[in-house]
Structures are given as structure tokens and as C-alpha cells.
Structure 1
Amino acid sequence: MTQHASPAPAAPATKRRKHPVDEVPPPGKLAVYGIQHVLAFYAGAVVVPILLASAIGLSERELIHLINADLFTCGIASIIQSVGFWKVGVKLPLLQGVTFTAVSPMIAIGLAAGGGTDGLLVIYGSVIVAGLFTFAIAPFFSRLIRFFPPVVTGSVITIIGIALLPVAAGDVVGGAASADPGSGRNLAYAAGTLALIVLMQRFFRGFLATVAVLVGLVAGTLVAWALGDATFSAVGDSSWVGVTTPFFFGLPKFSIAAIISMVVVMLITAVETTGDVFATGEIVGKRIGRADIAAALRADGLATTLGGVLNSFPYTCFAENVGLVRLTQVRSRWVVAAAGGFMILIGLVPKAGAVVAGIPHPVLGGAALAMFATVAVVGIQTLGRVDFNDHRNVVIVATSLGLALLVTVQPGIVQAVPGWAEIIFGSGITLGSITAIVLNAVFHHVGGGRGPALSGAPGTDQVRLDDVNAMDRDTFVATFGRLFQGPTDVVENAYAQRPFSSTAQLRAALQESLFAAPPEQQAQLVAAYPALGADGVGDGTAGEQTVLDQAAAGLDRLTEDDHTALREVTTAYREKFGFPLIVCVRDAPSRERILEQGAARLQNCPSQEKAAALLEIAKIAGHRFDALVADANPVHSARTQKYGSQDFGRADF
């Protein structure tokens, strides 16, 4: 009798684990984490309506309504972005807030329309249209990113910070309505608030550092109240519950010049949002694609339009809360949704808005100095990635910054321009932004083909894709051979994959050729790279590209002690592995980091270091590729424009 083996039991189906972004924490933690986001966000959220109300002459009652409407709409906007529906909302832990970019243009729009609620209605008209515009262009915006390189975004962010400083200074001296530059008490409140913020940033880390501005505002206000310089009489007159109604101040008014100004603001904000989305994606470990960027921008546009209807302002992702996600590693988007719920509740309590409206102007001015100056510093960091050896970039930055400061320092000059241009010339941010965008297009995008840049050095004309596809083998090898040191086998192998439909495909062809090359070709390539900090780097004989690479960390101007320390590490490395220590200096821009990395890699096995050498070569080639090929990496530029030179885990080119 034949026995048949019984079938093996079926393996139990395993339920796919949720991504941390989609996990919902327990209710208690969800509430605590949500409140933490609100606290880190709150000061920045309420500053915009306070600054605007002060500048265009709104009453305290109107200011209270603006604050509550802002918080209420912030909560809705944050839920839209984090929870999402249809193709709206990126479904990441991104909290929405009113963009500081819009402050100066909105003030200019409001004052040009007569100030008060009349000016507010024109602001809301421009906000509604700009929001609809942002929603409509969301799926196409990735194609426009090339018009917003660091030379444009850096100029604009710097201008924003500098142009807002006079607003902060006006609050320091008591506000527009009761300015008293000679008041020592006003100066003491402002300086004390600023000093407390700086001290908290110096001596605290983590959560307390993120709420330094809020603590400074609270402490400064309490001191002013104790000394009789802050009153909260409006709190008692305000109701406990109040709902902001659509068009509370009246139906919006539409001005072409105001709309153009706000559309420019939203274009700039879209670049900032793109950077925030990519940064958050890296932090939470979620791949970001074009559809995600479009969804995030649709949420910005919808929230901005909703803001114009519900008596609030343009919205964007708040970088402060992106930093909080990185700091806490709490990656759930539902935490931000909870924070949005809390903000909606706070926005329904007018007494809360009345408390905020009671903050004395000098206290607010001290905090604003810290925030606005920080914006300018971010712009300077962004400009640090601009090649100023290219005189065109000097002209773009100098002209846009000069015109922005002209109308900021001498606002009366707006009287000399035609009426249709008053909105543009009434705001340093708007005029400077438009100037930077237009000049970048004129200098870098308008005109015929410039031909291949055979040197590949920054400051020269870049290679265009049409030029690449038209090249013969020798020209292709001569052009792209300088992405690598020594042998050109890798480049010759990539040539066989022509024609290229995009710069991404060209980049991928060079990558594949590098990592798929035979071991002997890879060994020859690795051996061709010069020693870090070698004499040839200092005197320029190591080659133009090598000098540019290593100069990023000052390896072309080493002291004798640094030279000795680096030589010891590189010599020990070559003796152990038989090939030079290769480090992508642009991604480790300090001599100390390079020495630490070299010493640590001495502990590895030869196989690992061979792989590491190829990876570092790929990174070096990636930076050279970006400098050589037009539009080589626009998405990378967009996502890093607010975060300095962080690498975001980029492993190759």
C-alpha cells in the first residue's frame, strides 16, 4: 500500500507592515506629539497676522480675528497636507503655515490699496487667485524648477530676510502707531527677548531649543505685563467660542498688479515646498516622486485659496516642523494631523487670539529680529553654492539685491513709477524676486545654443543635451572624460548608449558604465586619482577639476601640520590597500572630517575599500556632471535650497 505524504501546511499569510509614516501612535502619545508640533509652530504662525495688522493699520479686534482665522485655517491646511485625498496632499508629516515670503508683498498690497480693511480685501483677492494658480500648475511645476536655481532662490531668500528686518526694527521702537526710537524701555524689552532666545539656543537642545522663540515671547510679555507695559483688556471682552466666517471683512477685491505679485510669491514658495518635501521624504525614509511634489503643491494651492476665503493668507510647509521631525524621529503623519486638530480648536477660541494680540511690539520686535535675520542667513547659505566666478551670477545677485534694498530703504520712490507698477515697486521682495527670475532667464536660458564646454569648469557655458546627441565619439570622450581621472574606458562605453532622451538617462549611462566596467579597468581608474592634499593640488598642476574638487575643503591651501597629518593617513592607506584614498571632498567639506573618514576606513577589508573607492569616484563625477551639463540635477537643487549643502543620502551621480 502506497502512502502519500500529507501536503505541507500553507504558510500563514504575513500582513505587510505599515510604513512608519502611516502608523498611528497610541492616543496619549498622539496628543503629546501633536501639542509639541503646535508649540514649535505657534510663534511663527501668529507672527504674520500680527506684523500685517500693525503695518496696514488694523484694530486690535480685527487682529484677534485674523489670528484665530489663521490658526483655524492652518489646522485645516495641515490636515489636508498630511492626511490627503484624491491627488491633494503629500501624506507626509508636513505642517502648513503662512509663508513669511508673503509678508512684505502683502503689506505693500494693503498699503497701496489704502490700508485697513480696504487693503485687506485686495490682499485676499490676490491670495485666492494665486492659490488657484498654484493648484493648476502643480503637475507642471517640476518642469519649471530649472528657472529657480540657487542663484535665484538664494537671492530671493536673502532679500526676504533683509527686507523684513525694517519691519522688526519698527516693532522694536514701539510699532508704527507709537514709535519712540529714544525709549530705553522699548530697547530693553527687545534686547532681553532676543538675548533669551539666543541663550536658549546656546544652552538647550532638543524640544526646548525648538520653542526658544515662543519662550522668549512669553517671558518678554510677562515682564512687560509686570511692569505695566502690556495689557490684556481685550481678553475679557472676547468670547470663549467664535467661528471665522467666509469673507468676514467683505468680498475680496481683485487687482492685476497685486495678483502678479502674489503669484510670484507662490512660485517661490513652491520651490521651498519642493525642498521641504524631499527633505521630509529622506528623514522618514519614503521615496519622493513627481506625483508627490504635485500633490504637495496642490495642497498648498488649495490651502492658500481657502485662506483667502477664511480671512487668512498663503500657505506653505513649515521648515521648523521639518526640523522637529528630524529631531524627534517621530515619523507618523497622523501626529501632524493631530496638531492640525489642536490648531482648529485653538482657532475657535477668540480669547486665545486676544492673548496673543496683547504681546507688546518691542517684545515681538526682538523675536522677529532673530527670525528674519535667520531667513537672510539661509539665503546666504544658498548663495554659497553659486559659482561667482561666473560674472553673470554676480550681476543677477547684485542687481536684484540692489533694487530690493532701494525700495526698502527709500519706499517713497514708488511715487515715481506708473500706477500699474506701484505694487511691484512697493515691495523690495517682489521687485527683487522678479528681477532675479528675469535676469536668470536672460543670462542662462535665452539665446541660441552655447556649444559644449570642453573644460567643464564652473563659470563656462554648459553642455546642452542636443549638443551631446550630436557629438561624435572623440568629442563625447573629450567632453565627458574629465568627469573621471585617467582612462576614458568608462566614457567610451557610455557613448554606445546614445541618443539620450534626458540628462537623467545620460547620467545613468555613465553610472552603469562605471560600475559595470571590468575589474582591471576599475583598478586603473582608481589608481589614476591623485592623493588628497598633494603638492600638485596646491600649485595647480594636479589638474583643474582636481583642484576645484579639493578646494571645497581647503586642501589646496593646507598648513604644514595639516599637510603632514593628511599625508600620514593617505600613505598608510596606500600601503595597506595598494591604491589611493579617494574621498568626495565636496560631501565632507572639512579637513577634520576627511582625516576622520580616512582613519576609519583603514580598519576595513580590501574588498570593501575597492567598492568604497568606486562609490566615491561616482560622487565626484556627479558633482562634475552637475557643473558641466545644463539642467543636470534640478530636483536636487530644489530639495536642498533651504538646507545648505546637506547630502540627503545621495550616494552617486
Structure 2
Amino acid sequence: METPHTNQDGLPEEAVHPVDQIRPFGKLFLFAIQHILVMVAAPVSSVFLIAKALNLSEALSSALLSSVFVFCGLGSILQSVGIGKIGVRLPFIMLPGGAATILFISIAQGTDLQTAVGAVILTGIFYILAVTLFVRILKYFPPLVIGTMVVVIGISLVKVTGMLFTGRPGTEHFGDPQQLLLALVTIVLTVLCFKFLRGFLRQLSVALGLIGGTLFAMMLGATDFASTIGGPAFSTPTLFPFGMPHLDLIAAIPMLVWSLASMAEATGQTVINGEIVGREVDPTRDVPRVIRSDGIISILGGLFGTPVMVTSGENIGIVRASGVRSRFVTAVAGVLLIVIGCTPLARVLNGIPPAVVGGTAVVVFAIISVLGIQMLSRVDFTQTGNLVTCTLALALGLLPVLIPGMYHSLPANMQTIFGSGVAMSALVAVLLNLLFHHCGGQGRDDAAGKTDSRPQARPANYRI
């Protein structure tokens, strides 16, 4: 009798799907650290922006930082492990939304912090209530639409994280040679790790590149971890840190409008994550699981002062680059994020130079765009409808990314949609897909293209 082949963890091949494999704890721990090193800039910068813009005291800032890390961890565990129809059971990390943070600040400045927190809670409730309606239109999100969105998501993330080492145009330190050097060294070290390392170490290339870039920064005197040690030795999230939340539906409208774009983005991220780990995703079932988790964590986080929490695409590139598909890696990362939120580790990680994080993130996020291109490669672009849909969705989606503020003269609620590259690409792609593939009167070629643009049927051996 032939002996069954085993994988690197000693498990029979085909016995357990790679996304469900529980690796030895040592490996889980190191792979989880890699995810954390890449995403840590998001929660820290989110709290920094809120604290500076709203003049929060050091005590409030510390409590908010603790809350954000703890709920990032809880959200990551919920998405990775899942409870019933909540959580998609894919390797995901949860983060405070970038646009959501800006809207939180804007609402707080226009009203007060209690109203801003109330808007977060209302948005979480809206996620849960709206997902039933949202799932009915997911049939209009075929690979043509999702692939285009994923390309725009990746490019948008590259631009945002690129500014961590370039600075913002027009500012004093824009294009600082030292910051550019730190990012370049980090990128080169990451590439060299991918080239020359093998096996387990190669899977840690992103983390090793970031660590190498940080050590180089320390040699240049560009960072000093000693200054990050001060502060309380133990901290926990504070319930109602800004007082009792005030639920004002009118004030929350900008955030509610943004949440529609967030749900569209979650759709693209869920599908592309499923492709990376080799698990077929049913958007009508799996996307609601993602969005419900976002809603629940946002509601709970709002009670502790956090902005809206969203499942992030930031770690998708890590999964692809490392080849480690186990959802238990991000579950362990979630546990570590909770530990970080309750200890001085959050402040210590803040000592990693932004330029080093930016160099790492640019590599990871560029992978997301490549994955979107890979998805689009399966679309038949000899069909006029597919070509026009993708062309205009990319063009109109990338315009607000390349030319920020181009819609500044529009009302605030319209700016929220049109000013988001992801929202614009999704809106244009869905509308044109409807026009060419779901409305009557299309030509013979376009009718053939209709099949290419729709989701394929799930295989018989499909399993959750």
C-alpha cells in the first residue's frame, strides 16, 4: 500500500485545507509577528491623528491607543476563527479605517467627541442592517468588477503608504533623502531575502526586511526605542472615555455614506483573499460574514472610543508573499494585538521609523494590485463591453487617487463617494457591467462577453 504524502507540518496532503492548518506554535508566532510589523503603523497613526487634531490629553491618548489595538485583535480573531455566520474564517487583520478616522475627526470638530463616537456606533449598526440588502446586489460584482476594484485598492494603498517615506508634497521634509534611503534599503533587503533565503526563513522575508531596515535606521540615528519606553506599564481600554455617546443620525450621514464604499471594498478583499489561499469564496454568503464582523467590532470599539474598525486588505499581500495561508496565523496575531494593547509594546512598536514601515508596505500593497491584474487576466477583453467597463472604471477610479481634492467643490456627501478611488471604480464598473451585460439590446460579441464577466459556478468539491 502506498504511503500518503505529507506536507511540511507532517499532515497528510489533502487532509486539511491549508487555510485550516494549525502549524507548530513557534511558526504561528513568527508569522503572526510578521503581520503585526506590517500593520502596526495604521493603529498608531490613527490614534496620533485623532489625538493631535482633537487635542486629547496624554491619558486619553494612551487609553485610545490601548482600545484600538485591543479591538484590532478581537476583530482579527473574529474574522479568522468565526462564530456561526459572523467572521469569514480567512486570514484577515482588522484595523481602524483610514477614511473612517478622518471622518471621525471631522464629525468631532463639527460637533463633539460624543457625537463622533455615536456616529461610529450608528455605522456599525448600519453595517449589520444594510448587509441583507447589499448581498442582493453582489451578483453585479463579477471578476471584471472586483478585479478592477482590487487594482485601484492596491494603487491607493501604495500612494498612502508611500507618503510615509516621501512626506506630503509641499511640506518641509518632502523627499528627505534620508527617509528615501531608509525605504530603499528596506525594500532591497526584502528582495534579497526573497532571493537568497529558503523555506521557513524565506516566508519571513517581509518581516526580516523590516527588521533590517529598522537596524539600519538605528545605525543612522534615525530612531531611538529608549524614548518609547516611558508611560504606564499596563493599560486597558476605557469604557466611554469621552463620555456617553450621542446618537445623531444627521451628523453620522457622511460616515454612513462612506460605509457603502467600505462594503464594496470588503467584497473585493474577500474574493481576492479567497483566491490567494485557494478557497472558493461565495460572495453572497462570505461577504456578509465579513461585514457583520466589521459592524460588531465597530459598535463595541465605539463604546471604548475607537473610530470605525474595518477588515483590512493590508495583510493580503503578506499572505501571498509568504505563501502561509493558515487563518490561525492571523488569529494568533489577534491575540498578540490584544497583549500589545495592554502593555507598553504599542509605544515600543511606534519606534519603528515610518519610512521603514512605508518601504515594507509599498512592497506588500503593490502585490495586491498585481493580484487584481491576475484576476482581470481571466476576463475576455476582446469583448467591447468588458474592455470599456474596465477602461473607464480604472480611469475614473484612479483620478481621485492621482488628483486628490478634484471634487472639493461638490457637497460633502458626494465628495465621500466621488473622492474615493475604490468607490468610484466600483460604481462605474457596476453601472457599465449592468449596461453591457444585463440590459437588453447588446450585440452578439457583448452577449458572449456576458458569460466571461459573471462569477463562475462553484465546483462540485467546493467546501467552506
Q: Using structure 2 for the length normalisation, give the TM-score.
A: 0.76
Aligned to 2:78: 80
Offset, 1:240: 1.8
1:41 aligns with 2:39: no
Would the alpha carbon gap of residues 275 and 374 (structure 1) be closer, same or farther in structure 2, given more than 3 Å must change? closer
Aligned mate of 1:355, from 341, 348, 351: 348
Q: What is the RMSD computed on CA atoms of the aligned residues?
A: 4.3
**Aligned pair in 2 of structure 1 residues 78, 172: CA closer, same or farther (>3 Å)?**
closer
Aligned to 1:382: 375
Shift of 1:373: 1.9
Q: Provide the residue aligned with 1:535 in structure 2.
A: none
Alignment of 1:78-477 (within 5 A): 78-89=76-87, 92=89, 94-98=90-94, 102-103=97-98, 105-106=99-100, 109=103, 122=116, 128-136=121-129, 143-174=136-167, 179-232=172-225, 234-248=227-241, 251=245, 254-274=251-271, 276=273, 282=279, 295=289, 297-310=291-304, 311=306, 313-315=309-311, 318-319=315-316, 327=324, 337-349=331-343, 351-445=344-438, 447-448=439-440, 459-462=445-448
**Which residue identity is paired with 1:633?**
Q
Q: Partner letter of residue 261 of structure 2?
A: V
After superposition, the C-alpha distances for 1:408-444 in whole angstroms (9 at most, x for unaligned) are: 2332323222233222233333333333233333333
User: CA offsets, 1:558-590, max 9 Å, x none?
Assistant: xxxxxxxxxxxxxxxxxxxxxxxxxxxxxxxxx
Q: Tell me the distance in 1 between the aligned counterparts of 2:118 and 2:409.
A: 26
Which of 1 and 2 has greater Rg? 1
Q: How far apart, CA to CA, are the structure 2 residues paired with 1:415 and 1:334?
A: 43
How far apart are residue 289 of structure 1 and its match? 11
State the distance in 1 between where 2:320 and 2:223 align. 32
CA distance in 2, matches of 1:173, 1:409: 15
Q: C-alpha displacement at 1:297, in angstroms?
A: 4.9
> Is the partner of 1:414 in helix, strand or coil?
coil
What are the ranges of 5 or more consecutive residues in structure 2 without an aligned counterpart?
1-14
What CA distance in whole angstroms lies between the structure 2 residues aligned with 1:57 and 1:391? 50
| 149-158 or 303-312: bigger deviation | 303-312
Matches of 1:108 and 1:366, distance apart in 2: 23
Pairs aligned (count): 436
The AA in structure 2 aligned to 1:314 is V
SS in structure 1 opposite 2:347?
Answer: helix
* Distance in 1 (alpha carbons) for counterparts of 2:115 and 2:174: 32
Secondary structure in structure 2 of the residue aligned to 1:358: coil
Letter in 2 for 1:170: M
For residues 5-24 of structure 1, the aligned pairs below 5 Å read none
User: Aligned partners of 1:140 and 1:34: how far apart in 2?
Assistant: 37
How many Å apart are 1:193 and its aligned residue? Answer: 0.9
Deviations 1:447-503 (A, max 9, x none): 34769x6xxxxx431599xxxxxxxxxxxxxxxxxxxxxxxxxxxxxxxxxxxxxxx
| Separation of aligned partners in 1, 2:181 and 2:375 | 33
SS at 2:407 equivalent? helix
Could you say if the C-alpha distance between residues 53 and 83 of structure 1 is closer, same or farther in structure 2, counting changes exceeding 3 Å? closer
Relative contact order, CA 8 A, sep 6+: which one is greater? 2
Give the superposition deviation at 1:209: 3.2
Following superposition, the deviation at residue 148 of structure 1 comes to: 1.0
Q: How far is 1:171 from its partner?
A: 1.7
The verdict on how the C-alpha distance between 1:400 and 1:246 changes in structure 2, with shifts beyond 3 A counting, is farther
SS at match of 1:98: strand
Give secondary structure in 2 for the equivalent of 1:168.
helix
How far 1:266 sits from its partner (Å)? Answer: 1.9
TM-score normalised by structure 1 residue count: 0.56
CA distance in 2, matches of 1:410, 1:279: 31
Residues of 2 paired with 1:125 and 1:437: CA distance? Answer: 32
Q: Tell me, yes or no, if structure 1 residue 633 matches structure 2 residue 453.
A: no
Shift in Å at residue 117 of structure 1? 11
C-alpha distance in 1, partners of 2:221/2:300? 39
**Distance change (3 Å), C-alpha of 1:190 and 1:304:** same
